[in-house]
A and B are shown apart, each in its own frame.
Chain A
Amino acid sequence: MASISIQNVYKNYGALNVLREFSLEIEDGEFVVLVGPSGCGKSTMLKILAGLEPASGGRILIGGRDVTDLAPGDRDIAMVFQNYALYPHLTVRDNIGFGLKMRGIPAAEIRRRVDEAARILAVEHLLDRRPKQLSGGQRQRVALGRAIVREPQAFLMDEPLSNLDAKLRVHMRAEISALHKRIGVTTIYVTHDQIEAMTMADRVVIMKDGLIQQIADPDTLFQKPKNLFVASFIGSPGMNFLSTAPADGAAIKLFGKKVPVNVSADRLKQAHSNGGIVAGIRPEYISTEGGGTEFIVRPSLIESLGSEKYVYFDAGEHTFSGLNDEEARKGLIARLAHSSPLAEGEELKLSFDPARVHLFEGRSGEALN
């Protein structure tokens, strides 16, 4: 186990910057998730960390040792791949023991450690099979076994659950978290799934276009997003965005009402002249219980999930132009739990707590509160 220090690492392919000045300090035993949309540079960063791709610049230290120019096998890390990358010509036992064999560990010791890893992952009965005879979940376990048997300084996981079906994914997510708690090895996990990131991570690194957008624990990301991108990426359904304008004093205008906010009047005016103000309200913070700021809507669509309802309604004058067409067409959304029967097109009184309103500057997308 070891701490990992990534210092100003960047990667260019010719004129294309796929990763820009990435710096991150990871504590010993920490579970860090890199998350972001396709092409954000998260997998590139992981491959650079593994030594499978050279960085264009910067330094990487694992356990205080500079590994920037070391071969993957000399970095004392283990990696779990998206497609498992099990060796098809070897049995499960040989797959798990391959890394130990490469390091010249005696056969008896390999056998003992493979048996131990197989016991932890409950694949003892599969040791003599070949990968093609295993199910997706079993392959995933064998891939994890190959990683833990080495007792490395760090685990690197590249979207290890994305090839599994939804149910198995939830199950394996919990298993990986439990495994991490049990063996406590520093883990860097890459995913595009924000739910995986939020449920598994001690800290999440959100990336976009090769740049880190925010590094924080899951609760902070949800409650204090640093910019519009983070606010829109985290949460399901995503945050509602409304184009708004300052009212008198430290307040904004929303649904024809003056909504007090914890941002100074001057700062609001400045942001307004800088591409406008965008207000963000999470769907779960809109309710039918009254209090706070109340407004009347006519739902355009109601989706019932049994335990809760998604109520869609038009943003009207507050429609935010930064959204893509599909998001804009759907309008705003409220996530209502235990609501009375609702009907589309009928008037519905909704409310939100002004303290829950996030504010962003229109042009830069930076958070104002």
Chain B
Amino acid sequence: MKRITAQNIALYAGVIAVCAFLLFPIYWLFVTALATSAELTQLPPTFWPKDPQWETFAKVWAERPIPLWLLNSTLAAVGSVALSMFVSVLAGYSLSRFSVRGGHSLGLFILTAKMLPATLLVIPLFSIFRSVGLIGSLWSLVIAHSTLIIPFTTWMMKGYFDTIPRELEQAAMVDGCSPLSAMVRVILPIATPGLAATALYAFVLSWADYAYARTFLTNEQGSWTANLGITTMKGEYVTDWNEVAAAAVFIAVPILIIYLFLERYLVGGLTAGAEK
């Protein structure tokens, strides 16, 4: 009994240490936003501002087009999620269920696309988008982000579909479904945790992008995504780090909300297949 208690203490201590390590940047972001400019450069640093500057948030919200940037980021991310989920669900399902000659090699080939660095694709994508007139449009981000997302999400979905017994579709087909309706009516509802985990991954990847937004969007600040907008707050000579941090808090909030909303699916998604 004593040993179990000691183990528990060690376990909780470990969990607390890991959480502290992971949460520290968020805490520091928040403290930076609330601190005065003088406190930011002070040594030793203060771990909670003496006079929290809550008005920094109001100031940033009023002076910068944060809502517009958030909207642009959201549109690009939602578009990327929609496009990449549509493609990767169908591709992942095909890779999981249909054995065609060369199918496995094709699957691996798709995955190798994930191994290309994003910067390698910037120039060819720019050239393509310019020729079809998509430069400056959020569609360029939707397509560019999808090229990054689809290879990996296809394999995520394939892995999830592999854990679902084939007999379920077979039963649905005997019950009168076509292969496609068996997938839509039976397999996709069962794959909800996998879909949620994959969609979240896709959303975060699109939301966190900077390089593509910097390259494909124009210099009008109304067209920027949040990540791009925030970098313009860094001045050539002076940077108000508390304002940058306040804007970063605004940008982090949507992701946190989505995580909270999808958490119950996500946990299922991560553990699915463990019992098989």
Give the segment of A72-80, A266-274, A311-319, A352-360 that binds chain B: A72-80
The CA-CA distance from A103 to B176 in the complex, in Å, is: 7
- Is the beta-carbon distance between A98 and B173 smaller than 8 angstroms? no
By a CB distance below 8 angstroms, the chain A residues around B174 are: 50-52, 72-73, 77-79, 99
For residues 197 through 238 of chain A, which have their beta carbon under 8 Å from a beta carbon of chain B? none
- Is the beta-carbon distance between A87 and B176 smaller than 8 angstroms? no
Write the B166-206 contact mask toward A (1 if CB under 8 angstroms, else 0): 01101111111110010000100110000000000000000
- Is the beta-carbon distance between B173 and A99 smaller than 8 angstroms? no
Write the A67-97 contact mask toward B (1 if CB under 8 angstroms, else 0): 0000111000111011101111100000000
Which DSSP category, helix, strand, loop or mixed, fits chain B's interface? helix
A-side interface residues toward B, CB under 8 Å?
47, 50-52, 71-73, 77-79, 81-83, 85-89, 98-99, 102-103, 146, 150
By a CB distance below 8 angstroms, the chain A residues around B181 are: 102
The CA-CA distance from A81 to B173 in the complex, in Å, is: 13
- Is the beta-carbon distance between A72 and B189 smaller than 8 angstroms? no
By a CB distance below 8 angstroms, the chain B residues around A103 are: 176
Q: A85-B167, A85-B171, A87-B168 are in contact. Are A102 and B186 (CB under 8 A)?
A: no
Give B188's nearest chain A residue, CB to CB.
A89
B-side interface residues toward A, CB under 8 Å?
165, 167-168, 170-178, 181, 186, 189-190
Which DSSP category, helix, strand, loop or mixed, fits chain A's interface? loop
Extra contacts, 19 of them, besides A82-B167, A83-B167, A87-B171 (Cβ < 8 A), are A47-B170, A50-B170, A72-B173, A72-B174, A73-B176, A73-B177, A77-B174, A78-B174, A79-B174, A85-B165, A85-B167, A85-B168, A85-B170, A87-B168, A87-B186, A99-B176, A102-B177, A146-B171, A150-B175
The CA-CA distance from A88 to B167 in the complex, in Å, is: 12
- Is the beta-carbon distance between B168 and A79 smaller than 8 angstroms? no
Q: Which residue from B170, B176, B178 sits with its C-beta under 8 Å from A81? A: B170
- Is the beta-carbon distance between B190 and A88 smaller than 8 angstroms? yes
- Is the beta-carbon distance between A89 and B189 smaller than 8 angstroms? yes
The CA-CA distance from A264 to B174 in the complex, in Å, is: 53
- Is the beta-carbon distance between A73 and B175 smaller than 8 angstroms? yes
Give B192's nearest chain A residue, CB to CB.
A89
Distance in Å: Cβ of A91 to nearest Cβ of chain B? 13
Distance in Å: Cβ of A89 to nearest Cβ of chain B? 4
- Is the beta-carbon distance between A52 and B177 smaller than 8 angstroms? no
Q: Which residue from A52, A88, A89, A102 sits with its C-beta under 8 Å from B175? A: A102
Give B171's nearest chain A residue, CB to CB.
A85
- Is the beta-carbon distance between B189 and A79 smaller than 8 angstroms? no
- Is the beta-carbon distance between A71 and B167 smaller than 8 angstroms? no
